[in-house]
């Protein structure tokens, strides 16, 4: 699979845009992609899929370029934090230039992987580890707990229940200490999974755009394209469709394809299929499934992909709405 170690001073325009969009998040990126032509989307998508992690130096370079370019337009764009810091220096002199707006403690830790965060704090006192975990997301805190040795994990869990009041001065000093440790250990980078990011974005675009991008990726790197497909909308995600859209999909799927596709599906998805067919069709499907012999896993996966492709085609035709899409068009 293609993977690039990005270096400062060596980025092309498409790589810079890919990095900026990964930092901006899926919602912004989805809306932004709608303003681009298909060739540009393909090139950006290629770059995004090849990114595994972005160092803070590279991210800072991209953001600086963006701000410099934006400031050359007629629109005023300025960092309030930087403006305040500059004003303090001009007013009070360099000796008091450390006066600045307070950032949220441990905000940089949100960009670390659970492994990186565990490495950074595992040597700390359990009370300190508990304090840090109280500032990150519940999901990341849970992942870190799992990575800690069992004895430390139990102690940290206990300490989390009794943190009490902690002076902010201590919290900020701890934040600075951890940041220094990260820099010293060379782990001050932000982890991005470009493949997952691209897959999530493609799940939000129309079928034609998705097919264009994936066809381009397939030509460039078939293994990479397959990795992206595996992260995209999967067969079990059909559970998320409401019954109306689900029935529309079933009506456009061959029964033999459906039988194979359900071979490895969950009981919940099978039941959803039965409930959205007529009683006679449901009984016939159950009978066919009972007498069906062994099926190669490859054939099952191909049948599932055919159904997903049919769902995408119906979406492109405006006949179904994917879960999470079309909310802006709902009338209430």
* % of the chain beyond a pLDDT of 70: 74
Residue 76: inside a domain: yes
CATH classification at residue 118: 1.10.220.30
Residue 134 within a domain: yes
Which alpha helices (H) appear in 100-254, and where do they start and end?
A: 114-121, 126-133, 138-147, 150-160, 168-185, 194-202, 207-220, 222-231, 243-250
- Does residue 258 lie in a domain region? yes
Q: Distance between CA atoms of 70 and 62, rounded to whole angstroms? A: 12
Regarding pTM above 0.85, the answer is: no
Does 306 fall in a domain?
A: yes
Cα–Cα distance measured from residue 134 to residue 157, given in angstroms and rounded to the nearest whole number:
11
Grade residue 159 by pLDDT with cuts at 50, 70 and 90.
confident
Q: Are residues 155 and 87 in the same domain?
A: no
Residues 246 and 217 in one domain: no
User: pLDDT tier at 206 (50, 70, 90 boundaries)?
Assistant: low
Q: Tell me which of 232 and 6 has the higher pLDDT.
A: 232
Residues 72 and 123 in one domain: no
* Residue ending a domain, choose from 208, 232, 256: 232
Domain count, the chain: 3
Do the Cβ atoms of 45 and 231 come closer than 8 Å?
Answer: no
Determine which of 21-25, 152-156, 289-293 has the lowest per-residue pLDDT on average.
21-25
At residue 48, the pLDDT reads 80
| Within a domain: 221 | yes
Range 274-297 burial, b when 16+ CB lie within 10 A, else e? eebbeeeeeeebeeeeeeeeeeee
Per-residue confidence (pLDDT) for residue 207, from 0 to 100 = 65
**How big is the chain by its Cα radius of gyration, in Å?**
25
Q: Is residue 330 part of a domain?
A: no
64 and 136 together in one domain:
no
Residue 150: both structure tokens together: 């069992």
pLDDT tens readout for residues 36-72:
777 788 888 888 877 766 777 777 777 777 766 655 5
By the 8 A CB rule, do 256 and 295 touch? no
In angstroms, the CA 195 to CA 50 distance is 7
Q: Is the per-residue pLDDT at 20 higher than 60?
A: yes
pLDDT (0 to 100) of residue 83: 45
Residue 245's domain spans which residues?
Answer: 235-324
Q: Could you tell me if 151 and 214 lie in one domain?
A: no
Query: CA dihedral in degrees (208, 211, 212, 214; nearest 10)?
Result: 160
Specify the 3-state DSSP secondary structure of 190: strand
Q: What is the pLDDT of residue 188?
A: 47
On whether both 198 and 160 belong to a single domain, the answer is no
Contact 210, 312 (CB under 8 A): yes
Residue 204 has a pLDDT of 62
Do 36 and 173 have their domain in common? no
More confident residue, 152 or 33: 152
pLDDT tens sequence across 278-329 = 999 999 999 999 888 888 888 888 898 889 888 888 887 889 887 765 444 4
Quick one: average pLDDT of 70-82? 47
As a whole number, mean pLDDT of residues 68-80 equals: 50
pLDDT exceeds cutoff 70 at 270 = yes
74 and 135 part of one domain:
no
Across residues 2-7, what is the average pLDDT?
55
Residue 144 lies in a domain: yes
**Domain end point (choices 128, 161, 186):** 186
Domain membership flag for residue 255: yes
Do both 210 and 73 map to the same domain? yes
Residues 213 and 176 reside in one and the same domain: no
Do 16 and 157 belong to one domain?
A: no
Residues 117, 144: contact at Cβ < 8 Å?
A: yes
Residues 320 and 280 occupy one common structural domain:
yes
């Amino acid at each position: 699979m293609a993977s690039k170690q990005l270096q400062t001073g060596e980025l092309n325009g498409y790589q810079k845009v890919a990095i900026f969009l990964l930092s901006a998040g899926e919602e912004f990126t989805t809306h932004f992609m709608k303003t681009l032509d298909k060739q540009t989307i393909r090139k950006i998508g290629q770059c995004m899929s090849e990114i595994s992690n972005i160092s803070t130096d590279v991210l800072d370079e991209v953001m600086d370029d963006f701000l410099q370019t934006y400031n050359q337009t007629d629109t005023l764009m300025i960092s309030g934090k930087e403006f305040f810091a500059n004003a303090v220096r001009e007013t009070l002199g360099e000796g008091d230039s450390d006066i600045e707006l307070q950032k949220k403690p441990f905000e940089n830790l949100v960009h670390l992987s659970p492994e990186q965060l565990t490495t950074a704090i595992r040597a700390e006192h359990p009370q300190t580890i508990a304090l840090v975990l109280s500032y990150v997301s519940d999901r990341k805190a849970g992942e870190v707990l799992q990575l800690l040795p069992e004895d430390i994990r139990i102690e940290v869990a206990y300490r989390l229940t009794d943190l009490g009041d902690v002076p902010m001065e201590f919290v900020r000093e701890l934040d600075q200490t951890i940041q220094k440790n990260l820099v010293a250990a060379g782990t001050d980078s932000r982890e991005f999974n470009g493949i997952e990011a691209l897959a999530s974005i493609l799940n939000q675009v129309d079928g034609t755009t998705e097919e264009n991008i994936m066809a381009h990726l397939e030509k460039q790197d078939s293994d990479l394209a397959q990795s992206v497909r595996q992260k995209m909308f999967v067969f079990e995600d059909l559970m998320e469709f409401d019954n109306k859209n689900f029935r529309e999909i079933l009506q456009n799927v061959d029964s033999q394809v459906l039988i194979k596709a359900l071979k490895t599906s969950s009981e919940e998805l099978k039941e959803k299929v039965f409930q959205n067919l007529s009683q006679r069709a449901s009984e016939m499907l159950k009978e066919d499934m009972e007498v069906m012999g062994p099926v190669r896993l490859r054939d099952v996966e191909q049948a599932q992909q055919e159904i997903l492709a049919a769902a995408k085609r119906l979406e492109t035709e405006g006949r179904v709405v994917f879960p999470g899409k079309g909310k802006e068009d709902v009338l209430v």
